[in-house]
Structure 1
Amino acid sequence: MRFDLTDLRLFCEVVDAGSITKGAERSALALAAASTRIRGMEETLGSALLTRSRQGVAPTPAGRMLLKHARAILAQSARLREDLGAYAGGLSGEVKVLANTNAVTEFLPEALSSFLASHPHVSVDLEERLSDEIVGLVAEGVADIGIVAGPVEVGALATYPFREDRFVVVTAAGHPLARRKKVPFAEVLDQDFVGLDRSSSLQRFLASKAAREGRPLRLRVQLRSFDAVCRLVECGVGIGVVPATTAARASRTMALAVVQLADDWALRELKIVVRTEDELRPYARELVESLRA
């Protein structure tokens, strides 16, 4: 049985994405090449590794066993590369970080820039995910570090406080809601929304909160950044839900009103999660220390 690291990395990406197409993209492989590699792994093993359906792919029992060992091998390979990197004169290592939208856009850019400036031979692979997804992926060893929000169950993972922020509603200055100081999320669901792309973790989170109220989220425009959301809100296209830090910054240059959300979930306590500090590779441990500082 001969699987190379590219095979193992591809298989992990396919399972994590639930799609051979997306797994191929994450692995920087053409779809045809990725499909050929997966078929070759199955033929070598003599057993199916994935079940295929219209909803995507999922690992078979054999696939789950391969996934477990593949992640262990890839983690050991990364540790080896990191240990030998100093002798090779190139990058000493890579730290995989998963975080929710709020952390990715508001807090991590500054924190990571400071860490990377002091560690020129280390790279950081940052990916946006929902908090509950992050917990599972960190526990499985897919990522070194996670940043999660809210009362998500973290199981046996070690946690450290990171930041605190609150979601608020932003409206144009002349909007009827602009006169309110606080409003429940359920009361704004009749409004048109300006938001991030539907695939973003925040937009999926808000859609789930709207669904619990038995209402759809009327998302008129999908954008790539909170600043762009605020700009279209200022123009009267709709209202938006953004972090309070974003709203405070945007309101200095835009004609916006900021209204607090009355819901308990609007207050976001961000936490760092890792498996255990002892399991972290040296640079991942240093990044955790940098984020906590």
Structure 2
Amino acid sequence: MRYDLIDLRLFRTVVVEGSITAGAARLHLSLPSASARIRALEHHAGVDLLVRGRRGVRPTPTGSALARHAGDVLDDLGRLEGAVAGYRRPAGTPLTLLAGSSAMRRLVPRALVSFLVAHPDVDVVTRERRSADSVRMLADGQADLGVVVVDAREDPRRAEDRLTDDSLVVVGPAGGAPAGREAMTFAEVAEHPLVGLEPDAPLTLTLEANLGEHAPVPRHRGRAVDLGTVVDLAAAGVGLAVVPRHVVDPARGLAVCELAEPFARRTLVLRRGARPGPGVEDLADHLRRGARDAASVST
């Protein structure tokens, strides 16, 4: 069976968006054309690839496998295009790196320093974005590289693309509510005052999206612009915090336990743009090295 690259890109986008309509709009296709392409894929596969519902679509097991392998093919194509683009990319055009709040705490700054020192002729622009927005921008060719969050139960497409565990934990002062606990649900956490990031921060939006409209609404005593300040506030006893484990220094002796929610098990991985520019793989290497160095320090 031959696969059309537009069909593969459409199917992966539909799975990411959870909607054929949104996937079609993202790739500037009409809805009838996109629907016909998806049906043709299912016909050739001989099995349903999507489960249709009133609120959108979700992949069947076969559809998940197709989306994953389609991602591999499109990533390889992106590397091929990037290698060729290196000869026509205007000199001085900066690389665009996308990442969420968690990666912007330590991983991205450290990798950026080492990369820019080692590559004086390459410029980099970093932008903080939610993972879903990063995936869309990468697919649209609006960025070269992204550090995004995936469910820890979902294997990265390549082992080398995995950077570090990004699972969410509950943090409080030594002897505080998380002390002696293996895990707390968000409902239990919300019984206490909280501290967190600003309302429009990627981590805040991710929590709200996953908890849903029926989740308890906690009292936030303070909101900060960076995770370091959030951890400092939690350490001082101002309120509990929900943050990625890797931003908490184990030497501080804080009370820490798992957040007992399905979405809390997360992994930071690398994703490349549809048309990555020269220097992307070097920047990816610095991010991987930074993740390894951080892991060795925390153990």
TM-score range, shorter-chain basis? 0.5 to 0.7
Aligned residue runs from structure 1 range 173-252, under 5 A: 173-247=174-248, 249=249, 251-252=250-251
Out of 284, 287, 299, the residue aligned to residue 288 of structure 1 is 284
Change (3 A) 1:187 1:148: same
Runs of at least 4 residues off by over 4 Å: 79-84
- The question of 1:259 aligning with 2:260 is answered no
Cα distance, 1:179 vs structure 2: 2.9
Cα distance, 1:215 vs structure 2: 2.1
Match of 1:125 in 2: 125
The separation in 2 between residues aligned to 1:184 and 1:136, in whole angstroms, is 31
Unaligned runs of 5+ in 1: 1-60, 66-75, 86-91
Give me the TM-score of the superposition, normalised by structure 2. 0.60
Structure 1 SS opposite 2:211: helix
Match of 2:139 in 1: 139
Structure 2 residue identity aligned to 1:202: L
Size of the aligned set, in residue pairs, is: 206
Contact 2:171 2:240 in 1 (8 A): yes
Cα distance, 1:241 vs structure 2: 1.0
Cα distance, 1:217 vs structure 2: 4.0
Give the stretch that moved more between structures: 280-289 or 105-114.
280-289
What is the CA deviation profile of residues 91-110 of structure 1, one whole-angstrom value per residue up to 9, with x for unaligned ones?
x3311011111111132122
What is the CA deviation profile of residues 64-97 of structure 1, one whole-angstrom value per residue up to 9, with x for unaligned ones?
89xxxxxxxxxx9xx7998553xxxxxx331101
Structure 1 residue identity aligned to 2:279: Y
What is the CA deviation profile of residues 19-54 of structure 1, one whole-angstrom value per residue up to 9, with x for unaligned ones?
xxxxxxxxxxxxxxxxxxxxxxxxxxxxxxxxxxxx
Give me the TM-score of the superposition, normalised by structure 1. 0.61
Unaligned runs of 5+ in 2: 1-24, 30-81, 290-299
- Bigger RCO (CA 8 Å, 6+ sep): 2
Structure 1 residue identity aligned to 2:95: V
Aligned residue runs from structure 1 range 1-293, under 5 A: 83=89, 85=91, 92-151=92-151, 160-247=161-248, 249=249, 251-253=250-252, 256-276=254-274, 279-293=275-289
Cα distance, 1:113 vs structure 2: 1.6
The separation in 2 between residues aligned to 1:291 and 1:275, in whole angstroms, is 16
Change (3 A) 1:82 1:104: farther
Contact 2:190 2:219 in 1 (8 A): yes
* CA RMSD of superposed structures (Å): 3.1
Change (3 A) 1:252 1:291: closer
Structure 1 SS opposite 2:123: strand
Change (3 A) 1:164 1:256: closer
The separation in 1 between residues aligned to 2:165 and 2:238, in whole angstroms, is 29
The separation in 1 between residues aligned to 2:121 and 2:273, in whole angstroms, is 24
What is the CA deviation profile of residues 218-269 of structure 1, one whole-angstrom value per residue up to 9, with x for unaligned ones?
322111222211222222211001221222x1x524x621112222322221
Change (3 A) 1:80 1:230: closer
Cα distance, 1:127 vs structure 2: 0.9
Structure 1 SS opposite 2:271: strand
